[in-house]
Amino acid sequence: MTTMTALVLREFGTMAVEQVPHAAIGEDEVQIAVSHTGICGSDVHGFTGENGRRFPGQVMGHESEGTIAALGAGVSPELFPHGQRVTFNPVVVPVEDAEAFDGREQHCPRKHVIGVRADLPAAFADLVVVPARNVVPIHPEAPRGSGALVEPLAVAAHAVRRSSVVAAQRVLVAGGGPIGQSLVIALRMTGVEQIVVSEPDPARRDLVALLGAIAVDPLAADSAVYDGVVAAFGAPADVAFDAVGVSATLANCLAAVSLGGTVCLVGMGAPHVDLDAFSVSTAERTIVGTFTYSADAFREASRWIEQPGLGIEHLISAVISPHEAPAMFTQLAEGHGPAGKVLVAFNEPGAARGEETS
Ligand SMILES: [Zn+2]
């Protein structure tokens, strides 16, 4: 039997590097040889068991780049050339529902997400099999590994669309982790130039400053975020994005946007938050929810990684081998991760190749 290297969630808190069988390639599916898969916050919370969205025995991984390795019988080799650099949209809508949910795929009740659904082996592995319609080509010149950033960038692309922000507006982003960083990229692609990011971690503040945002430390004083926004813009923000999603960040966002302004809730830090109702009602602020992305937002984000001068490469803090990944998951779960994304590299020359074992 042919096997490959994969990261298996053995039990909550324990990740193992194992040789697992290749998944079969269905009629309308594409097999991707994975080069890089990003570790998402949701993977870390799945690893610890705290979000209840990952399960022992599962191979996770939904933020990936690779090359086309093999095709199902019904897939055209002209449309999916062997060796092409690709990423994949992990949100899979059944073919029967595609038309009804065109443009709002994330609302489809029968969708599943590769890397979340426990019975589907995903992209922390040498090979992953995905529906051909979810494969998205990336530019051959895009920075190495940047295809793994498309998924978090798509979250940001969709959030920016949901917020209706426009170029001339002043924007606060609460949280400078990978989603906050992706929001800065998405805002800059929308033409927004006035961006403040509040983030307690100094390394993350340095990173978002490299992306062109003004970074403030929310813990510096009680009103540090409001003060930082007013110091930067000379006025409150028009739109705020809460990339954390806990009571403190939502309160900071509401306090820092003007009367009639908009707060877009992106982060899912807590299932329940305190809300100062009058800061919404009497101030006529709008709270907008956003979750994952449409297929169109995903394709839009796939083109951002080829843009020079955006600083996309700053979003990748570390590229590690599968054997280094279990310790990294533990480190991330303890809150000691680097400022940007950690990518796990698969199919590296010199590493044990699944195809060579029997
Ligand atoms: Zn993710």
Rounded Cα–Cα distance for residues 352 and 358 (Å) = 12
Output the tens digit of pLDDT for each of the chain's 358 residues: 689 999 999 999 999 999 999 999 999 999 999 999 999 999 999 999 987 888 899 999 999 999 999 999 999 999 999 999 999 999 999 999 999 999 999 999 999 999 999 999 999 999 999 999 999 999 999 999 999 999 999 999 999 999 999 999 999 999 999 999 999 999 999 999 999 999 999 999 999 999 999 999 999 999 999 999 999 999 999 999 999 999 999 999 999 999 999 999 999 999 999 999 999 999 999 999 999 999 999 999 999 999 988 999 999 999 999 999 999 999 999 999 999 999 999 998 755 444 433 3
CA of 179 to the centre of ligand 1 (A): 9
22-to-122, 200, 220 alpha-carbon distances in Å:
11, 43, 51
Rounded Cα–Cα distance for residues 261 and 350 (Å) = 54
CA of 236 to the centre of ligand 1 (A): 30
Task: Give residues whose Cβ lies within 5 Å of ion ligand 1.
Answer: 40
CA of 248 to the centre of ligand 1 (A): 23
Position 354 scores a pLDDT of 40
CA of 38 to the centre of ligand 1 (A): 8
CA of 62 to the centre of ligand 1 (A): 6
Position 348 scores a pLDDT of 82
255-to-222, 224, 232, 251, 276 alpha-carbon distances in Å:
11, 11, 15, 6, 10
Q: What is the pTM of this model?
A: 0.95
Nearest to 54 by CA among 8, 125, 117, 113: 117
Rounded Cα–Cα distance for residues 301 and 86 (Å) = 13
Q: Which domains does the chain have, with CATH numbers?
A: 3-143+305-356 (3.90.180.10), 153-289 (3.40.50.720)
Residue 103 backbone class (left: φ over 0; alpha: ψ -120 to 50; beta: rest): left
Q: In this structure, how many other beta carbons lie within 10 angstroms of the beta carbon of residue 274?
A: 11
Token pair recorded at residue 128: 């992953």
Q: Measure CA of the first residue to CA of the last residue in the chain; give whole Å.
A: 6
**Are 172 and 198 contacting, i.e. CB atoms less than 8 angstroms apart?**
yes
CA of 63 to the centre of ligand 1 (A): 6
Rounded Cα–Cα distance for residues 96 and 83 (Å) = 30
Q: In this structure, how many other beta carbons lie within 10 angstroms of the beta carbon of residue 231?
A: 11
CA of 65 to the centre of ligand 1 (A): 13
Position 351 scores a pLDDT of 53
Write a three-state SS string for 262-306.
EEEECCCCCCCCCCCHHHHHCCCCEEEECCCCCHHHHHHHHHHCC
CA of 282 to the centre of ligand 1 (A): 36
